[in-house]
Amino acid sequence: MGSETPKAVPLTCHGHSRPITHLSFSPVLDDEQYYLISACKDNNPMLRDGVTGDWIGTFIGHKGAVWQARLSADASLAATASADFSAKIWDSHTGECLHTLTHSHIVRAVAFPSQPRPQLVATGGFEKKLRIFDLSRSTSSSSASSSPTSPDGNVSPPPAPSFEIGPGIHGGPIKSVIWSTDLNILITAADDKMIRWWDLRARSCAAKFELDGMVGTCELDASSNPSLSVAAGKSAYFFSGTQPGQLIKKITTSKDIAAVALHAEQRKFVTGGVGDTWVRVYDFEDESELELQKGHHGPIWTINFSPDGKMYATGSEDGTVKLWKFCSDPYGLWR
């Protein structure tokens, strides 16, 4: 990127009618394809071709803003967290809702373990509870013919059983849940300004770190040596993706940061701010600002690099998703 890479016009993905709250890519699949899912306050998460941004389908069923959306490692399942007090699990091929996981308050965060067709899902939100649901012990919505019937005549599948990790520990709503590459470690970012690493074997907190400000985004990158990137206040925090609680670097900028994503190989990171509509690219080593990308018409709430690192996606208050080229070679629709 920087001076050696000519600027390319970003691709704009329309379709949402409210602010974008979260974006997440799938890993690269066997056919070199990958996918992008977007969460939005319009209640309707969308699945797209990750390379081109082309719309594939919309998951219909939530009755409140969707705060977070993720795809399973094989992209066969999607999970969404909503203000309608539920998380939903979807078949990403058919768009069918397989499970509705009911909560007693707004659900802000959802995460799968990095396994094909996972049987577990973790959630967090305004309950201040980290909960893990066992999908294998619930009849899916599509095959609940022997399940009890609700008053409106619809068949209700039995709910997936769940258990809580670290009851009473979170001092504020959970904004993000990340399932580590170590399947025994879960990470939570909460509004008590704390990042916590949870050991599922002991069901206890293995490490914690206090941030200087309220957390924005908290994401694990897809590189071979993953790191956890956290935005809070005017700072970007970069933690080891394999060693709980190990801070690699904290970089403080002059702007409030709402979203951050790291490109580990290029040693650059990208931020979106609260006070303006611009994407900023920084050098990870000397912390200098390299580029200013303009195109959105509202604050940028979410940023994620594609799994191959060739581009990144941003989601904004303006209701659009933009794809930005991050390589010097011809790529995707920039060929």
Give the per-residue SS3 of the chain.
CHHHCCCCCCEEECCCCCCEEEEEECCCCCCCCCEEEEEECCCCCEEEECCCCCEEEECCCCCCCEEEEEECCCCCEEEEEECCCEEEEEECCCCCEEEEEECCCCEEEEECCCCCCCCEEEEEECCCCEEEEEHHHCCCHHHCCCCCECCCCCECCCCCCEEEECCCCCCCCEEEEEECCCCCEEEEEECCCEEEEEECCCCEEEEEEECCCCEEEEEECCCCCCEEEEEECCEEEEEECCCCCCEEEEEECCCCEEEEEEECCCCEEEEEECCCCCEEEEECCCCCEEEEECCCCCCEEEEEECCCCCEEEEEECCCCEEEEECCCCCCHHHC
**Tens digits of pLDDT across the chain (335 residues):** 444 455 789 999 999 999 999 999 999 998 889 999 999 999 999 999 999 999 999 999 999 999 999 999 999 999 999 999 999 999 999 999 999 999 999 999 999 999 889 999 999 999 999 999 999 987 655 433 333 334 445 555 577 899 999 999 999 999 999 999 999 999 999 999 999 999 999 999 999 999 999 999 999 998 778 999 999 999 999 999 999 999 999 999 998 999 999 999 999 999 998 889 999 999 999 999 999 999 999 999 999 999 999 999 999 999 999 999 999 999 999 98
What is the value of pTM for the model shown?
0.91
**Residues 236 and 251 sit within 8 Å (Cβ to Cβ):** yes
Tell me the backbone φ, ψ of residue 97, rounded to 5 degrees.
-80, 120
- Looking at residue 223, its pLDDT comes to 79
- Looking at residue 6, its pLDDT comes to 55
- Looking at residue 30, its pLDDT comes to 82
- Looking at residue 1, its pLDDT comes to 42
Annotated domain spans of the chain: 2-334
- Looking at residue 151, its pLDDT comes to 42
- Looking at residue 2, its pLDDT comes to 42
- Looking at residue 66, its pLDDT comes to 98
Give pairs for 154-162: CB < 8 Å, separation 24+. Answer: 157/99, 159/101, 159/102, 160/99, 160/101, 160/133, 160/134, 160/135, 161/133, 161/134, 161/137, 162/101, 162/131, 162/132, 162/133, 162/134
The count of other CB atoms within 10 Å of the CB of residue 6 is 7
- Looking at residue 156, its pLDDT comes to 54
The fold of 2-334 is Methylamine Dehydrogenase; Chain H (2.130.10)
- Looking at residue 155, its pLDDT comes to 52
- Looking at residue 222, its pLDDT comes to 80
- Looking at residue 274, its pLDDT comes to 87
